[in-house]
């Protein structure tokens, strides 16, 4: 699943091609994604310039005068910018939505159709009040995110610290890959009860979450299966994974084999020696 770094890489990739440019047409080929694409969206968006492209958690927000197009890439989605001769490429069976601009087409591809393309009209109020966005935790690069916040919001909680990160109600965007990598760098075992982690260790965890996410963004995200950037290029952060998807391989520090367990139906990777 594309996580925060992959979504931010996508946002940076499409923004120069759509910001301040007018949507000439919207072509919906498969309306039945995770939720049905609103029938009013193509007419509401067509003919209007995109004011900005922002991100909230794993959601992309394309703002126009009429409202916001909310995009989520689901488990296997990607956005591709088609320019020049590529504009004439015929859509494939998994290409469900095109946003047509004067010099580019932004095409949504989603083989598993767990993604979403929703419409939030301006008269409905602030897009951040949308039900999918209103309950999200703080952004990891914001001033509101800190070890103090993690410590305060986990007091008395018996759930594992990794599950607390994945829940997205304290901090957003720290998905399965980056939770495993961050907990490794912080030296925290992923099965530790969130309420038992000290303030000092949460300070370190908040610091490394920013580091890991920032490094992943700079390297184009992680391409494990389906994710590609808007230019068709793969990410490279998977080459730097210390634990994720490395079960049985030696820890880069202590050389003991990396372990794999399942938490909440998700694979977790850690080092039993380096993470206590």
Mean pLDDT of all residues in 55-84: 95
Active site annotation includes 58: yes
Based on the fold, state whether residues 90 and 151 are members of the same structural domain: no
Give the mean pLDDT of the chain: 92
CB 144 within 8 A of CB 172: no
CATH of the domain at 70: 3.20.190.10
Based on the fold, state whether residues 20 and 101 are members of the same structural domain: yes
CATH of the domain at 192: 1.10.8.50
82, 108, 133 — which closes off a domain? Answer: 133
Q: Domain tally for the chain?
A: 2
| 142, part of any domain | no
CB 2 within 8 A of CB 77: yes
Report pLDDT for 159: 97
Based on the fold, state whether residues 105 and 10 are members of the same structural domain: yes
Question: Residue 234: pLDDT above 80?
Answer: no
Active site annotation includes 266: yes
Report the share of the chain in percent with pLDDT over 70.
93
What confidence tier does 154 reach under pLDDT thresholds 50, 70, 90?
very high
Question: Residue 233: pLDDT above 70?
Answer: no
Active site annotation includes 207: no
What confidence tier does 178 reach under pLDDT thresholds 50, 70, 90?
very high
Largest Cα–Cα distance of the chain, in whole Å? 59
Helix 199-218 and helix 176-186, axial crossing angle in degrees, nearest 10:
130
Contacts of 76 (CB under 8 A, 6+ apart): 1, 110, 111, 112, 114, 115, 225, 226
133, 164, 182 — which closes off a domain? Answer: 133
Higher pLDDT, 225 or 53: 53
Based on the fold, state whether residues 155 and 118 are members of the same structural domain: no
Report pLDDT for 239: 66
Evaluate the CA torsion angle 251, 254, 255, 259 in order and state its sign.
negative
Based on the fold, state whether residues 191 and 164 are members of the same structural domain: yes
104, 133, 162 — which closes off a domain? Answer: 133
Active site annotation includes 204: no
Catalytic residue of the set 56, 58, 107, 189? 58
Based on the fold, state whether residues 68 and 182 are members of the same structural domain: no
| 55, part of any domain | yes
Based on the fold, state whether residues 114 and 160 are members of the same structural domain: no
Q: Which domain holds residue 181?
A: 147-270
Report pLDDT for 258: 98
Question: Residue 231: pLDDT above 80?
Answer: no
Based on the fold, state whether residues 127 and 175 are members of the same structural domain: no
| 140, part of any domain | no
Based on the fold, state whether residues 17 and 90 are members of the same structural domain: yes
Report pLDDT for 223: 44
What confidence tier does 219 reach under pLDDT thresholds 50, 70, 90?
confident
pTM score, whole prediction: 0.89
Report pLDDT for 241: 87
Token pair in block for residue 123: 């008269």
Catalytic residue of the set 3, 6, 8, 181? 3
């Amino acid at each position: 699943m594309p996580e925060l770094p992959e979504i931010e890489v996508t946002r940076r990739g499409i923004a120069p091609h759509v910001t301040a440019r007018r949507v000439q047409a919207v072509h919906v080929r498969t309306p039945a994604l995770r939720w049905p694409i609103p029938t009013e969206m193509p007419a509401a968006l067509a003919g209007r310039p995109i004011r900005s492209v922002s991100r909230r958690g794993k959601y992309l927000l394309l703002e126009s005068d009429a409202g916001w197009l909310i995009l989520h890439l689901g488990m296997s989605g990607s956005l591709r910018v088609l320019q020049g001769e590529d504009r004439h490429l015929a859509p494939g069976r998994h290409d469900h939505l095109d946003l047509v601009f004067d010099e580019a087409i932004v095409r949504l591809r989603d083989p598993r159709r767990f993604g979403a393309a929703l419409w939030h009209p301006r008269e409905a109020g602030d897009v951040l009040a949308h039900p999918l966005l209103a309950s999200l935790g703080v952004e990891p690069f914001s001033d509101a995110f800190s070890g103090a916040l993690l410590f305060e919001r986990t007091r008395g909680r018996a759930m594992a610290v990794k599950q607390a990160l994945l829940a997205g109600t304290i901090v957003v965007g720290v998905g399965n890959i980056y939770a495993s990598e961050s907990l490794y760098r912080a030296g925290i075992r992923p099965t530790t009860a969130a309420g038992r982690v000290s303030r000092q260790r949460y300070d370190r965890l908040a610091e490394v979450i920013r580091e890991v996410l920032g490094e992943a963004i700079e390297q184009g995200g992680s391409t494990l299966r389906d994710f590609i950037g808007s230019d068709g290029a793969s990410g490279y952060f998977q080459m730097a994974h210390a634990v994720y998807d490395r079960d049985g391989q030696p820890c880069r520090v202590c050389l003991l084999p990396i372990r794999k367990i399942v938490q909440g139906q998700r694979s977790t990777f850690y080092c039993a020696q380096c993470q206590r």
